[in-house]
Every structure is written in structure tokens, then in C-alpha cells.
Amino acid sequence: MTLDERLQNVSVVGAAGKMGSGIAVLIAAQMAELKEKNPDVLYRLNLIDISKKGLIGLGSYMKKQLIKHAEKSINAIRELYANRDDLVENTEMIDNFVFESMQVCNLTNNLDAARDSDLVFEAIIEDIPTKLKVLGRLKEICKDDVIYYTNTSSVPIGLLDEKLGLNGRIVGYHFYNPPVIQKLVEVITNDKTDEEAKALGMELGKRLRKKLVPANDISGFIGNGHFARDGLHGLNEVERLTGEGFSIPEAVYIVNKVSQTLLIRPMGIFQLIDYVGVDVFWAIFEVMREHIPDPTLKNDLLNKMMEVGVKGGQNPDGTQVDGFLQYKKSRPVGVYDISSGSNIPIEGEWKEKLDKYIGPLPEGCQPWRSMLVDPNKGQKLERYFANLRRSDTAGAKLAVGYLERSREIGQMLVDTGVADSPQDVNDVLLNGFFHIYGPINNY
């Protein structure tokens, strides 16, 4: 079957979640385009989730995102409706596109709705037993030639394939959050992956205008393989600093500021962990540890955060939930103190003391956002990191150690066969995490 044929009936399982809702928007938009070109064909997008409340919110979210998509793609929308005499103004075309996109959608709690689908996107919780249960049920009810695209970020597809007997018709299709904005998709395959499934996944990614990066089927893959270990390095640095007399909140603040400001990243490591979700970050370790013989993939502070129920993540409106850091309008304003269960404000003498320990910023240090758009950023980064290495401040030393560990992790992903090349590692961090330089570099 061609991709156009398979896109006539598609299901997204876990459609009300952060990832599933974004995938739903992308596929609905594709169906609306095909529907206009093939008016006699029936298109159906089954959006399946166990949460009735979540499905109500999904409809509202999709309409907003489809409007944004159509507005950004107005030239393509005008071309799509070039032969429609009834659609003249941009607003008319946008309204019609959103209407047609939503018309193909069937929002339901019933997994049986996927019965006739030719493509199934699975975007449920990153938990092996749950994935096996849901995919197992789908195998029972779906056609034998259905292709599954799992949004797994750490579970090996070979495990799911072997346990369920999917005959290679499953591909790891790891969108990055949020899928409607993020350009990156990690495409995870192995030597048993069905060639049609692989080829259609690549074709779909190109249609969605995504940056496709191949990854081999080793738990964590490239993105989370680096992120988990990068975050673990930050947690270990917190432990080292507490051994030097700092409290845990003080150490968290120091490492977070250094990993953002001195490494010129969009977020500090603990802000990033909070954004992803402390619980999601913890779950990545749980899966990776099960499949990779590395006893270092654990951390006591992370486990304690889970025990007290501080999990981060986002609210339904997209605002940040408190985790290692406390947030106001999604900006860090405090640090969580696990010993008292309260937050310490990032202000006054407390902040001044820690900033003094970090030391002055090396010459050439710029905020990530300004460096991102700087046409001379390559040369400026080279000069800045040379200055960073010459600096003898505590913050500079911590940053250099972080930089070198990040490079070690990236090279390890290549050496162990997770990534095919250093460029693939760098592409994931550049496109999926919005870094302005890859971890495998000469800095």
C-alpha cells in the first residue's frame, strides 16, 4: 500500500497526551490536504484515549493548533484551494481547512476503533507492561498488515516486536515535544524492521517537514541516551557540591545556572528535567537500566524526588509545574528544598552568595537566544570556550567538566552503535534540544 492509501484510516492511541495530541494535529492536517485532492475518498482519524476529560481538551487544542498551522502555511493553503471559487479570503480558507481537518476525527475511548486502520501511532506512557498490553490488544483487533509507529523514547522496539510477534511492522518514531513545533523525529529501526514500514516512515517524515535522524535500537536511543546521562552528570555534581558544604538547593542552583549560562544552553539541566517531567526522566532511567548493563544509571536524589511526589511537567495550559525549581509564569523563581518540602526563593543574599561562588562570566559569554541568531556564532563560540578554559573560577571549572562529559557521552553513543555518526548525535541535540552546538565538538 502507498502512504496515501494508508493515510485513509489512521489511529493515534494516547491521543490526549502531550505527544499524542501533537501527532493528531499533524496527521489531521495531512488528511485534510488529501481529502481536498480526493473528495470521493473517506478519511478517518481515530483519536483514542482512556481519559474522557482529556479528549474534550484535545478537540480544543487541535482547533487552536490547526489554525496556527494554516496561518503559517497560508501560501500552501491558497494553492490547495486554488480551484475553489467559494473560498476567496484567507480567513475563509483557514476556517475551511480547520473544519475539514476536524471532520475526519473520531474522538473515542474505545480501542476497537482502530480495527480498520492501516497506520497506528502509539503515544502512551513509557512503561513496558502498558505498551505490551495496548499493542497486544491492537494486534488482536487490527489487520495483519497494519504498521505501528511507537513514540517510544527509551523502550527498544525489538523487545515489543519479539514479545508480540509483529513481524518487524513496528518502527520507533520518536517525535520531540511539542510535535507540532519540534522539527526532529528520531527514527528507530533494527535489522528485523519491515522495509515498507521503514520507507513509509521516512516518506511521512518528509511530508511533515521533519528532520529525520536514524537511531539504532538500543534503549534510550540518541536523544534520551544523551539527556539521561547529561542529567545524571548534573545530579552527580550536586552530590559533589553538597560534599563541599553546600545544601542541596544551593547545589541545584549552581549546577542549573552553570549548565545554562556558561554552556550557553536554552535551559539549565534541572529546568530541562522539570520541563520533561521529573517522573518521565526517572522512568527513562528505569527502562534504560533494564536493558543496559550500567549500574550508574540511578541517583538517590532523583529517587527521593519521586518519593515525595515532586514531578514537574506542564499544566494543561502549558505553564510549568514546580519540580527541582519553582516557577512563576514558567520562569524559575525558587529551588525546592527536599528536607523541608518548601521552596527557597532565588533572591537576595542567598543568590548573591552562590553567584559569587560561580564567579564572573568569561569574556564572550552571551545569552543563548542572542547567540542563536548571531551570524558569527561559530567564531564567537570558539573564542568564548577558549576563554572559559583559561578561567580559573569555580563556575568555569564546573562548566568545562560538564562540556567534556557531554562530549564523552556523545562519542560513547557512536562507539556503542546507538548512533551511526557524530553528526547524527549533534543533529539530535541541535534540532531536538535546541542547542547551538553539538556535544561532539572541538571546544
Q: What's the average model confidence in pLDDT over 332-343?
A: 97
Is 317's pLDDT higher than 80? no
Q: How does residue 348 score in pLDDT terms, banded at 50, 70 and 90?
A: very high
Among candidates 112, 153, 102, which has minimal Cα distance to 131? 153
User: Which three three-digit cell numbers place residue 377?
Assistant: 556564532
Q: Across all residues in the chain, what is the average pLDDT?
A: 96
> What's residue 402's pLDDT?
98
Among candidates 257, 414, 245, which has minimal Cα distance to 351? 257
> What's residue 438's pLDDT?
97
> 3-state DSSP helix/strand/coil percent for the chain, to nearest 5?
55, 15, 35
Is 419's pLDDT higher than 90? yes
> What's residue 293's pLDDT?
84
> What's residue 376's pLDDT?
95
CA 125 from centre of chain: 13
Helix (H) or strand (E) holding 200: helix 195-207
DSSP annotation of 179: T
> What's residue 319's pLDDT?
86
Give the long-range contacts of residues 78-84, CB within 8 A, separation 24 or more: 80/33, 80/36, 80/37, 81/36
Superfamily of domain 3-216: NAD(P)-binding Rossmann-like Domain (3.40.50.720)
Is 24's pLDDT higher than 80? yes
Percent of the chain at pLDDT > 70 equals: 100
Q: Assign 65 to helix, strand or coil.
A: helix
How many CB atoms sit inside 10 A of residue 317's CB? 6
Is 330's pLDDT higher than 90? no
Is 316's pLDDT higher than 80? no
**Rounded Cα–Cα distance for residues 154 and 227 (Å):** 11
Phi first, then psi: what are they for 10, rounded to 5°?
A: -130, 145
CA 141 from centre of chain: 30
**Rounded Cα–Cα distance for residues 326 and 307 (Å):** 18
Question: CATH second-level architecture of 223-432?
Answer: Orthogonal Bundle (1.10)
**Rounded Cα–Cα distance for residues 279 and 45 (Å):** 30
What would the pLDDT profile of 169-180 be if each residue is shown by its tens digit?
A: 999 999 998 899
- The ranges of the chain annotated as CATH 1.10.1040 are 223-432
What would the pLDDT profile of 382-418 be if each residue is shown by its tens digit?
A: 999 999 999 999 999 999 999 999 999 999 999 999 9
Is 34's pLDDT higher than 80? yes
> What's residue 135's pLDDT?
98
Q: What's the average model confidence in pLDDT over 267-283?
A: 95
How many CB atoms sit inside 10 A of residue 424's CB? 21
Is 318's pLDDT higher than 80? no
Is 123's pLDDT higher than 90? yes
DSSP annotation of 259: I
> What's residue 314's pLDDT?
84
- The ranges of the chain annotated as CATH 3.40.50.720 are 3-216
**Rounded Cα–Cα distance for residues 122 and 14 (Å):** 7
Residues 6+ apart with CB under 8 A from 368: 260, 264, 265, 266, 436
> What's residue 274's pLDDT?
97
Which of the residue ranges 106-120, 148-162, 175-189, 284-298 would you say has the lowest mean pLDDT?
A: 284-298
Q: What's the average model confidence in pLDDT over 207-214?
A: 96
Is 295's pLDDT higher than 90? no
Return the CA Rg of the chain: 23
Residue type, 206: K
> What's residue 315's pLDDT?
79
What would the pLDDT profile of 356-373 be if each residue is shown by its tens digit?
A: 999 999 999 999 999 999
